[in-house]
Amino acid sequence: MKRVYRAASLLEVAHARNVLITAGIRCELRNQYLAGALGDLPMMETWPQLFVEDDDERFALSVLARAATATGGSPWACPECGEKLEPQFLQCWRCGADKPGPAPA
């Protein structure tokens, strides 16, 4: 199995999982209930993660990249600190400012 996606928010991972399932890719959601439970692990290792079969990795990554572009628009710059951010992020990872404009439903 290969990891193709992870995020701090289970909502984001669930969305990515739906995208993969819609594309016909079998995937496995791990760490769904683990967040915060394992203090010894690096934080990102406790995030919910999506795994796919080795053979599906490249296809899964391209599907996720397309989905991020389609739903998130273009990369944006943080209005507070000027950090450049990928469209799938709704908050600046650097200063925590929200993405400008209407929030997606």
| Terminal C-alpha separation, the chain | 32
Q: What is the x/- site pattern for Zn ion, positions 50-79, by CB under 5 A?
A: ----------------------------x-
Binding mask 75-104 for Zn ion (x = CB under 5 A): ---x-xx-x--------x-xx-x-------
DSSP, residue by residue, 18-31: HHHHHTT--EEEE-
C-beta closer to Zn ion: residue 65 or 95: 95
Q: Cβ of residue 42: shortest distance to Zn ion, in angstroms?
A: 23
CB-side neighbour CA atoms (13 Å) of 76: 18
Helices (H), the chain: 10-22, 57-72
Which residues would be at the binding site for Zn ion (CB under 5 A)?
78, 80-81, 83, 92, 94-95, 97
